[in-house]
Amino acid sequence: MRLTIKELLYGALLTALALLIPLAFQGWLQVAIPPFSATLGSHVPSMLALTISPWVAVLVGLGSSFGFLITLGPIIALRAFIHVFFGAAGALLYRRGWRLWQALLLVLPIHALGEALVVLPFGFGWYQALVLIGLGTALHHLADGAITVVLYAALKKAGLSVTSSPPSV
């Protein structure tokens, strides 16, 4: 599976956004209920990337992880690394004809459980991991998913869709 120049360009722009969001909005669009933290909109680049291709979704997930490594440290970066997996899985679902909102709902457990489980080796208890981080991530995923679906519909209407055979939103 080769990336086109257009896909690579959009992937680079989404990766830049994935880096910029934690850098620019640190402390401003963040919600923190320790040990959980969330930056509103931080999943949108990864969620938009899954409409392009699995490789672009992986690229943007890696960029997101790096952005959080710079701003919030290694544990949050490991949580953000889960974007690679839910993005790739969502991209495969989207390519198979699932609507964007359906693909986002189907990958929610990968995202929430992944972020919950990745913190366990760092001394987080099961309650903190599953309830605070897992449930918090699920709610954050739903909020950013809603933003993504609305934004994608607007981008598609403006003619900026890069998917070779886009299903309906």
Two structure tokens written together for 70: 């710079």
**Residue for token pair 């320790």:** 34
Give the pLDDT confidence of 38-62 residue by residue, as tens digits.
Answer: 889 999 999 999 999 999 999 999 9
Q: Is residue 131 part of a domain?
A: yes
How far from 57 is each of 94, 97, 124, CA to CA, in Å?
12, 17, 28
Q: Is residue 70 part of a domain?
A: yes
Within 13 Å of residue 35, how many CA atoms lie on the same side as its CB? 19
pLDDT band at 169 (very low <50, low <70, confident <90, very high): low
The domain tally of the chain equals: 1
Count of other CB atoms within 10 angstroms of residue 158: 8
pLDDT band at 150 (very low <50, low <70, confident <90, very high): very high
Q: Is residue 137 part of a domain?
A: yes
Nearest of 152, 107, 112, 149 to residue 129 by alpha carbon: 112
Report the CATH number that the domain containing residue 142 is assigned in CATH: 1.10.1760.20
Region of 165 (left: φ > 0; alpha: ψ -120 to 50; beta: rest) is beta
Range of the domain at 48: 5-157
Give the pLDDT confidence of 78-97 residue by residue, as tens digits.
Answer: 999 999 999 999 999 999 99
Q: Is residue 163 part of a domain?
A: no
Count of other CB atoms within 10 angstroms of residue 8: 16
**What is the percentage of the chain residues whose pLDDT exceeds 90?**
70
- Does the pTM surpass 0.75? The reply is yes
Q: Give CA angle at 82 (96, 89), nearest 5°.
A: 10
Helix (DSSP H) and strand (DSSP E) numbers for the chain: 7, 2
